[in-house]
Amino acid sequence: MKKLTKEQFTSHILKEHATHPLSTHLKEIVYGGIDGIITTFAVVAGFSGAQTAGADPTLPTLAVLLFGFANLFGDASSMGLGNFLSVRADQDVYKKEQEKELREIEENPEYEIRETQYMLTEKGFTASQAEQLTSMYATNKDFWVDFMMREELEMQNPMQDNPLVSATVTASSFMIFGVIPLIPYVFFREVFSNQFAVSITFTFAALISLGLVRLKVANQGFIRSVGETVLIGCISAGVAYVVGTFFRV
pLDDT confidence bin for 249, thresholds 50/70/90: very low
CB of 220 closer than 8 Å to CB of 227: no
Lowest-confidence pick of 25-34, 43-52, 121-130, 196-205: 43-52
**Confidence label for 228 from pLDDT (cuts 50, 70 and 90):** confident
Give the N- to C-terminal CA distance of the chain in Å, as an integer.
77
Q: What is d(CA 92, CA 96) in angstroms, rounded to the nearest whole number?
A: 6
78-117 pLDDT per residue, tens: 889 998 999 999 999 999 999 999 999 999 999 999 999 9
Confidence (pLDDT) at 12: 47
Q: Check pLDDT > 60 for residue 187.
A: yes
- Look at residue 246 in the predicted model and tell me its pLDDT: 67
Alpha helices in the chain (DSSP H): 6-16, 26-52, 61-107, 109-122, 127-137, 141-151, 163-178, 183-187, 195-218, 222, 228-244
Mean pLDDT of all residues in 128-134: 93
What's the rounded Cα separation, in Å, for the pair 71 and 77? 10
Q: With contact defined as beta carbons under 8 Å apart, do 38 and 232 qualify?
A: no
Highest mean pLDDT among 29-33, 152-156, 167-171, 237-241: 167-171
Asked if pLDDT for residue 197 goes beyond 60, the answer is yes
Maximum mean pLDDT: which of 17-31, 110-124, 193-207, 220-234: 110-124
What's the mean per-residue pLDDT of the chain? 81
Domain boundaries, the chain: 23-244
Confidence (pTM): 0.74
For residue 6, the number of C-alpha atoms closer than 13 Å in the C-beta half-sphere is 0
- What gap in Å lies between CA 214 and CA 199, rounded to an integer? 23
**Residue 23 pLDDT > 80:** no
Poorest-confidence range of 30-34, 60-64, 77-81, 91-95? 60-64
Model confidence at 51, pLDDT cuts 50, 70, 90, reads low
Segment 173-199 shows an average pLDDT of 82
CA–CA gap between residue 90 and residue 166 (Å, rounded) = 13
Residue 94 has what pLDDT? 93
